[in-house]
Every structure is written in structure tokens, then in C-alpha cells.
Amino acid sequence: MTTPRTDPLTLWRQIDQAGGVRAFVDAQLRERGFLVERRDADKMSDREKDQYKTALKQEAAERKTLAREAWKAYQAAHIVHLGDGIYWSDDATPDKWDTPNSEERAAENELPPLDSPAQLAEALGVTVAQLRGLTYHRDAATSLHYCRFAIPKRDGSERPIWAPLPRLKAAQAWVLHNVVERLPVHGAAHGFLAGRSTLTNAAVHTNANLVLKMDVKEFFPTVTWRRVKGVFRRAGYRERVATLLALLCTESPREVVQLDGTTYYVSLGPRCLPQGAPTSPALTNALCLRLDRRLTGLAAKLGWRYTRYADDLTFSLPAAHVGPPRLGAMIGCVTRVVETEGFRIHPEKTRVARPGGRQAVTGLVVNGDAAPRAPRALRRQLRAALHNRKVGKPRPDGDTEAQLHGLAAYIYMTDPVLGRKLLAEIDG
């Protein structure tokens, strides 16, 4: 006799209500007449012994079948395992790493209560088994939840982009809007935040004597999944949910290898924030809260101003500053602070701009006390493209209608009068 076909999640609820697998199995055996009362075989006749042994074998076979079905039900309701190098325990008891008053902290940030993998799966609109599939780590995988492509960088190299496939992208979008975007972010951060932009970032640094720009090297790859898990734990989530959230938002850098006709995606290091996931930029803002706080304090102490746009750190010394600029001290202290926060400065991308040259911050010119504006070369480029279009000259491949609109909108952001005029000319 076999176990009736029951939905695994329903079956697990029945097992849980029965008091566990052993209690459920014993109850089922008793109900179906397979549970054998243990007796002293020495007092049995040979015929009774044969019957007793037969009954015990039937009980053992049915117990094995029930245990197998119970294990399938357990797997449907639990994560069980998440792959190589990922610690997982289905134990839900608190541990010493839990944030004090974690529930209160999560409530303060208006985060959704997520106390178990099942709750997270329900919030994401997936089953526990599907959640396990989205977060499972393999050092050598034959398939991924990402699509890889590359875009050219200014130095001629390529930047790999890992775009999540639809199911993972939907899960990441939920995590972004319901969790990550509600985490505290420092006022010095201007990238990927509602109401902030390259313009608000540049506006802090107008009328500067010196503009110092520094770049964090390998920004996203430096943010490993364990650091991301720390963000979610500090937000108020316990070990199991924080682990799953971190795995949803990270992936290992991988190399594509062909072996015996099979394509393998081989891990080159720990899971980290992939460029292309919607959660990555916002997670760096939350992770850099202490970094931004420390750099803001350092800059203020030396008389400078500070902002961060993703991995671009900008410092400026106001023209009204009295006293030595202490530029060397600023560069040295920033480098040490960044390193103690787990990042590295890219030494070849450190730049200092003085009033005699062009001072640009996130692409906008900030010389003088005027508002940030688009570079003159960009405005000339757009005017020339519009003139060529008007007189019928051949247009380069880059001068598409969409790109012209984009350039005009960019100029409109800093100069609404000129931008409106250019947009009207394009649409006319």
C-alpha cells in the first residue's frame, strides 16, 4: 500500500500538525493496520514467527514509503541545502548575530515582516522549491539565471553585464522596492536615488578652489554576498531570510568553458553584486552608509565638501576657504578610510581640477558660482547635428532621433530654456 497522492505542502502541514515525521508515520501505520505490536518471539510457534516476520516486513516497507514521501514534503516546505560553500540550517531559533531589537528596527524602516523562507517565497510569488532554485550556488553550473553581454568602456576594455532572467529579475525588483529602497542612505549619496541625480551631485561642488575626484576600484565585485547579508541582518532580518535575500541579489563572476560539448559557467570567486541586477546600485548606497558618514566628517574637518555617485567620490574646497588646502592629507586620509571600509581607491583615476582648468563633476561643469551646466562641446555637438539634419547632410550612426532627444533632455536638466528650444527644434 502506498501513500495517497497529496500535495507536498499540504502533506507537510499534516506532518507538522501530527508532531513531526515519526509521529505522523506511526499514526499512518496504525490507521492503515500496518503497525505491529512488538512481542517476544521466543514464546511463538514457528507458524506465528513466520506471520510475525511477514507483518514486520510489511510494516518496514510501508514505513520506508511513508518516510520517503515525508522527505519530499519536507523538501517542498524547506530550503534544506543551498550549494557549495553556503551555510544553511533550517533551525529558526535566534542566534548571537541577530540585531538587537531586530523586529523593532525592521518596523522602523517599514520593512515587510519575513520570518521564514516560506514567508519570503510567498511574498515573491514563488514556491519554496523555486526560491531554492533561484538562490542555489554551484561553482560549475550548466545554466544560470543571468544573461551575459558586454559594453565598451572608455579605456577600450569591456564591462561585463549580467542581466537577470525574468523570474529572478521579478524577485530582485520586489526586494528592491520593498526592502532595499527603505534602508537608510546618507545624504552624500546621489546615485540611483529618487530626487537625486548627477545634477544634485555636481551642485554641491560649484565655486570651488579645488575639485578632487577619486574612484573606487572594482566597486560592485568588492561587495560580496556576505557583506550584502550583513546589510539585511542589520536591517532586522534573521540568518535564514538574510541569507536568501543576499543570494537573490548576488552571483559569482564566471568564465564560460566548453568541455565535452557541454557549456559550463565556472565561478572565479565569491558571489558579489552583478552589474545588471536592479538591486546592485541601491545595495551599495545602503552598504556605504558608514563610509559616506566617515568621509563627510573627514571632509568637513579639513574644510572640504563631499558627495558620492556610485563609485565616484568627489571632494571640493570652497573658494571662500581660508588656510592651506591640505590636499595631500585629504587624499591620504580618504584612501585609508576607504580601505578600512573594505574598498580600494583606483590610483590612476585620482584627479585634481583647479579654477584655471575645467572643473567637471559627473559630467557637468561646475566652474564659478553658476549652476552646473552641460559642457560646451556637448552643446556644440547637438547644434551641429541639428544643423546637418536641417540641411540634409549625412548623419553619423550615433545621431539617431533617440540620441538627439537624449542629449537635448540632458541639456534641459541644467538649462531648461536652451533645452526646451532644442527639444522643440528636434520635434519640429
Check whether residue 318 and residue 365 sit in a common domain. Answer: yes
Domain assignment present for 119: yes
Indicate whether 398 pLDDT > 80.
no
Domain assignment present for 89: no
- pLDDT above 90: percentage of residues in the chain: 79
Domain assignment present for 279: no
Q: pLDDT averaged over the chain?
A: 92
- The pLDDT of residue 336 is 98
Determine the structural domain holding residue 210 and report its residue range. Answer: 186-220+286-370
Check whether residue 361 and residue 419 sit in a common domain. Answer: no
Domain assignment present for 295: yes
Check whether residue 396 and residue 299 sit in a common domain. Answer: no
Check whether residue 362 and residue 303 sit in a common domain. Answer: yes
- The pLDDT of residue 284 is 97
Residues in the chain: 428
Alpha carbon distance 114, 122 (integer Å): 10
Check whether residue 256 and residue 323 sit in a common domain. Answer: no
Confidence of residue 94 (pLDDT cuts 50, 70, 90): confident
State pTM to two decimals.
0.88
Domain assignment present for 61: yes
Mean pLDDT of the region 254-277: 94
Alpha carbon distance 227, 398 (integer Å): 40
Q: Among 272, 297, 332, which residue terminates a domain?
A: 272
Q: Among 250, 272, 294, which residue terminates a domain?
A: 272
Q: Among 370, 387, 404, which residue terminates a domain?
A: 370
User: Which of 48, 2, 47, 9 has its CA nearest to residue 28?
Assistant: 2
For residue 198, give the CATH number of its domain.
3.30.70
- The pLDDT of residue 1 is 42
How many alpha carbons lie under 13 Å from residue 133 in its C-beta half-sphere?
11
pLDDT tens column, 138-164: 999 999 999 988 888 777 778 888 999
Distance set, CA 364 to CA 274, 296, 371, 413 (Å) = 27, 22, 9, 11
Check whether residue 310 and residue 423 sit in a common domain. Answer: no
The helix/strand/coil state of 164 is strand
Check whether residue 146 and residue 193 sit in a common domain. Answer: no
Check whether residue 119 and residue 262 sit in a common domain. Answer: yes
Domain assignment present for 174: yes
Mean pLDDT of the region 165-174: 98
Please name the residues in contact with 197: beta carbons below 8 A apart, sequence gap of 6 or more: 190, 413
* Domain count across the chain: 4
Alpha carbon distance 333, 297 (integer Å): 11
